[in-house]
Structure 1
Amino acid sequence: MKVLIAGGAGFIGSTIASACIDSNITPVILDNLATGRREFTRGRTFYEGDICDGDLVDRIFAEHPDIETAIDCAALIVVPDSVANPLGYYRENVSKGIQFLEHLARNNCRNLLFSSSASIYQADPEDFSVDENSPLETLSPYARTKALFETILRDVAEAGTLDVISLRYFNPIGADPQLRTGLQIRTPTHALGKMIDVHHAGAAFPLTGTDYPTRDGSGIRDYVHVWDLAAAHIRAVQNFAAITHDGPYRVINLGTGRGTTVRELVTAFENVTGTPLAITETDRRPGDSAGAYARVDLAQELLGWKAEHSLEDGIRDSLRWYAERDTALGVSELPG
């Protein structure tokens, strides 16, 4: 079995590719390397280029006619950047995505797994948990690109063009446990990445937002290990027809089912490292929300999947990757 992974040289896409290899599924990677890393494609079938390049996509299918499923991980994902550059985000995440769908349909690739996001949810004010039918509230251009593209996918699926499973990721942490790949940027914007940076620098962690209506005032998230996310994709690829049997468009949450506040993440980080972490309280970032965590019953029902790794596992694997990252990728060439 072969799968096409668009964005397969990025953090999540490359981890999915590793899980595919471990499961005897051959990944074919398409990535323009805007944020992905060539190093993550070593020993893998790789095409450098853009998802909107129809000639390139046609060549991929001509050379790999046995590709059964496409996994679309190609997107820009940084919330503050999307606020500053909404046109760029709509171009990359929506306009190019539409062209990619046309290329897939033309090449008779009917199965698509889409990397969506929990950022599109309106949290339940009682406990901040959400299921696939919870109301949506998009507070940033990034979130709006994901919600808009889901609408497009639903229409395309209902028209009979493609069958689609939209996987709504919560907050990925960790790394491939074998350290084949991991987070590739030097200055990550998410909470755990910042904690690791300031931990090694001996600086204070900026806690952005302390007045949310959560149990301790900090944002609440569902931190899911990236290796668990990858395992969910394998289950979806292997059971695609059964999952879409009752409808051509399915949405599935991928999270742990547990909410962790940023202050609680700090405590877990301190427990793993054995050292205290200084905190500086700051205002909310533009586009941020209080957050949410997943209700995961549907993932268990349709995928037979649940997250196996703990929060501490994710912190430990993130720290292990940080220690190897610059050697693996070359410190002078790492993007900011």
Structure 2
Amino acid sequence: MKVLISGGAGYIGSTVASACLDAGITPVVLDNLVTGRREFVTGRAFYEGDIADGTLVDRIFAEHPEIEAVVHCAALIVVPDSVGDPLGYYRANVAKSLDFVGHLIRNGCEKMIFSSSGSIYLPGADFSVDEHSGISPQSPYARTKAVCEGMFADIAATQSIRILSLRYFNPIGADPQLRTGLQLRRPSHALGKLIEAQEAGVPFQITGTDWPTRDGSGIRDYVHVWDLATAHVAALQHFDRALEEQQSSVINLGTGTGTTVTELAAAFNDVVDQPVSLVETGPRPGDVAGAFTRSDRSKRLLDWEPRFSIAEGIRDSLRWAEVRDERLGLTDLG
């Protein structure tokens, strides 16, 4: 099998590409390298360009007619940035995705997996959600994912393409073989900030401590990025069964366990030799209390369950942080 991965030079997409290779699936990568890294596509079929570029998409399909499916990972994903630049986020995540799916249909593509987000949910009283939970995205980033899902469902209802949306939660870790990992030296998510605080010898800021959770900090479903990658492979392998004879459908990808930011920090301090101190501060723009999945659809339809623990995700993130700058040739604070 050969698949096209948009955003395949980014954190998630490149890890999905590695998992595909390990499973005997050939990835073809399309990425504009706005946030992706050229180092992550070494030895892989790679096209540098935009998903909205119809001429380029046509060329990819002409040169790789064996492509059977597309994994659509290309997106801007930083919540506070989306609050500051909603226009840019809607243009990159929605408008270009609309163009992209049109190009796919024109080239006869009949299967697409969309990397969506658990951030679109309205959590229940216990912060758990399943695929039938209400939708209430609280940031421009999350709304772009919800808009894309609705847009894709409408398109799939009348066109030849079928679309499976994978709603995943909070990725941590790196490819266990350290082929790829989080490319940013200054990431905005909690684990990245914990690593940054430890490296700098400064306290870690728990952003928001008045949420209605068990300890007041936000609650998340932290899932290892390699588990997410293998779930995408499982979705490719079980695509027809996953859709349950529908044109479009959704599946949650998570651990099924809610972990608060304070609990993540405690787990981090259990792993490292030099624990970080903690300070409380206000929430960031676009922050929400959070959610975790209670669904078993991924097990039932994809034969997939997460294998890695939070501690293993922390360790792999730390291992990647040690080699990231050398692997990516980083010499500044990018």
Settle same-fold status: TM greater than 0.5: yes
- Secondary structure of the 1:211 match is coil
- CA distance in 2: counterparts of 1:243 and 1:120, whole angstroms: 21
* Alignment check: 8 A CA contact 1:51 1:99 kept: yes
* Alignment check: 8 A CA contact 1:128 1:292 kept: yes
- CA distance in 2: counterparts of 1:160 and 1:245, whole angstroms: 17
Deviations 1:258-304 (A, max 9, x none): 00000000110000003321112111111111000011301111101
Structure 2: which amino acid aligns with 1:301? R
Deviations 1:171-216 (A, max 9, x none): 0000000000000011000000000011011001111000000000
**What residue in structure 1 maps to residue 119 of structure 2?**
119
1:257 aligns with 2:270: no
* Alignment check: 8 A CA contact 2:186 2:333 kept: no
- Secondary structure of the 1:331 match is coil
TM-score (norm 1): 0.98
TM-fit CA distance, 1:244:
2.1
TM-fit CA distance, 1:157:
1.2
- CA distance in 2: counterparts of 1:327 and 1:292, whole angstroms: 35
- CA distance in 1: counterparts of 2:245 and 2:182, whole angstroms: 36
Q: How many residues align?
A: 334
Alignment gaps of 5+ in structure 1: none
Note the aligned Cα RMSD (angstroms). Answer: 0.9
**What residue in structure 1 maps to residue 177 of structure 2?**
178
- CA distance in 1: counterparts of 2:319 and 2:295, whole angstroms: 28
- CA distance in 1: counterparts of 2:143 and 2:330, whole angstroms: 34
- Secondary structure of the 2:30 match is strand
* Alignment check: 8 A CA contact 1:176 1:182 kept: yes
**What residue in structure 2 maps to residue 219 of structure 1?**
218
Structure 2: which amino acid aligns with 1:314? G
- Secondary structure of the 2:234 match is helix
* Alignment check: 8 A CA contact 2:8 2:73 kept: yes
- CA distance in 2: counterparts of 1:317 and 1:73, whole angstroms: 22
TM-fit CA distance, 1:136:
1.1
Deviations 1:235-256 (A, max 9, x none): 1101112222421111000000
TM-fit CA distance, 1:123:
1.0
- CA distance in 2: counterparts of 1:118 and 1:4, whole angstroms: 23
- CA distance in 1: counterparts of 2:242 and 2:132, whole angstroms: 17
Deviations 1:142-192 (A, max 9, x none): 011000010001101111331011000100000000000000011000000
1:198 aligns with 2:194: no
**What residue in structure 2 maps to residue 303 of structure 1?**
302
**What residue in structure 2 maps to residue 70 of structure 1?**
70
**What residue in structure 2 maps to residue 272 of structure 1?**
271
Deviations 1:130-149 (A, max 9, x none): 00010111111001100001
* Alignment check: 8 A CA contact 1:256 1:296 kept: no
* Alignment check: 8 A CA contact 1:184 1:334 kept: no
* Alignment check: 8 A CA contact 1:93 1:146 kept: yes
**What residue in structure 2 maps to residue 157 of structure 1?**
156
- CA distance in 1: counterparts of 2:30 and 2:128, whole angstroms: 34
* Alignment check: 8 A CA contact 2:8 2:14 kept: yes
- CA distance in 2: counterparts of 1:17 and 1:220, whole angstroms: 29
1:247 aligns with 2:260: no
- Secondary structure of the 1:58 match is helix
- CA distance in 2: counterparts of 1:17 and 1:140, whole angstroms: 28
- CA distance in 1: counterparts of 2:54 and 2:332, whole angstroms: 30
- CA distance in 2: counterparts of 1:240 and 1:201, whole angstroms: 45
Deviations 1:38-83 (A, max 9, x none): 0000000000000000000000000000000000000000000000
- CA distance in 1: counterparts of 2:20 and 2:280, whole angstroms: 41
1:324 aligns with 2:323: yes
**What residue in structure 2 maps to residue 13 of structure 1?**
13
- CA distance in 2: counterparts of 1:54 and 1:334, whole angstroms: 34
Structure 1: which amino acid aligns with 2:330? V
Rate the CA distance shift 1:130–1:7 in 2: closer, same or farther, 3 A. same
Q: Percent identity?
A: 62
TM-fit CA distance, 1:334:
6.3
- CA distance in 2: counterparts of 1:272 and 1:257, whole angstroms: 22
Deviations 1:91-137 (A, max 9, x none): 00000000000000000001000010011011112x11100010111
- CA distance in 1: counterparts of 2:244 and 2:129, whole angstroms: 24
Structure 1: which amino acid aligns with 2:142? A
- CA distance in 2: counterparts of 1:307 and 1:296, whole angstroms: 13
Q: Is the deviation greater in 100-109 or in 274-283?
A: 274-283
1:87 aligns with 2:87: yes
Deviating beyond 6 angstroms after TM superposition, the runs of 4 or more aligned structure 1 residues are: none
Alignment gaps of 5+ in structure 2: none
